[in-house]
Amino acid sequence: MNVSEFTAQVANFDALSVPEKLKLLGWYLHTHRKLSAFDKPDVKHCFNDLNQACPDLSIYFPRLLAQKVFLKEAGKVKLEGKVRAAIGKKYGEAPVTIAVTAALAQLPAKIPSLSERVFLGEAISCYRVRAFRSSIVMTWCLAIDHLQRWILDDPARLAAFNAARGTRYPKKAINVMKFDDFEEFKESEVIEVVGSAGLVTGDVKKVLKHKLDTRNTAAHPSTISIDEPQANEYILTLVNEVVVRLV
């Protein structure tokens, strides 16, 4: 997790006092940069990465040391244990979350298309800042776009799709010849046709149908909550079973 992703989880980070920012950045350096102790340049790098002016650390470091918020450690400083634990309780991640985040981070490397890797990276960024509905909607957009382009990329697959379309939806007279032609079909209809054409297995069709239902739930206001486990399962399954599988 980079510092921008971390501060995005902190409500009104920009409006916090300098000491509060320094405590949070100290925790970030301990936890996500794996530093047992840190110094002024480490903190300054954080502010640079945030595109923010760094406060005068020569003023605030001594104050936090005097308050025993910072403790001296081999010429550097570290957060006092209770301070670190309190921040960790609020912003830390459970081991399972860390494992899932690592699995998500490995997904983009599995995708050959640069544009798809970038898009997936943005979906995962939404997940990391707990915008779970947005991560689900973006991942679905990636998967259905990939499926449609996969059909178009091979003349045999395209012919099979159009033949099955004629049988499954005879009232839809249009044959798909270019990407924009898919606009004539509902996403659920595209899924039915690729299944009827034998372009995907029954299991992949089930994944697509189930994930479309979840996307519809996430994309519209409702009282149904979308939680972290649901979002991470959605991203991992859809990317691995559709985007990575269909090449």
- pLDDT band of residue 124 (cuts 50, 70, 90) is confident
Span 36-84, pLDDT tens digits: 999 999 999 999 999 999 999 999 999 999 999 999 988 999 999 999 9
Q: Which of 28, 21, 218 is nearest to 134 (CA)?
A: 218
Whose structure tokens read 């996969």? 150
Q: What Rg value do the Cα atoms of the chain yield, rounded? A: 24
Query: Biggest alpha carbon distance in the chain?
Result: 78
Contacts of 13 (CB under 8 A, 6+ apart): 7, 21, 24
- Residue 96 pLDDT: 45
- Is the overall model pTM greater than 0.75, yes or no? no
Span 187-224, pLDDT tens digits: 999 999 999 999 999 999 999 999 999 999 999 888 88
Higher pLDDT, 43 or 116: 43
Q: Which amino acid is it at 10? A: V
Q: Which long-range contacts (CB under 8 A, 24 or more apart) does 25-31 make?
A: 26/70, 26/77, 26/78, 26/79, 26/84, 27/79, 27/84, 27/87, 27/88, 27/91, 28/3, 30/78, 30/79, 30/84, 31/88, 31/92
- Residue 7 pLDDT: 87
Q: What is the mean pLDDT of residues 25-46?
A: 94
Residue 128 has pLDDT above 80, yes or no: no
Span 145-192, pLDDT tens digits: 999 999 999 999 999 999 999 999 988 878 999 999 999 999 999 999
Q: Which amino acid is it at 196? A: S
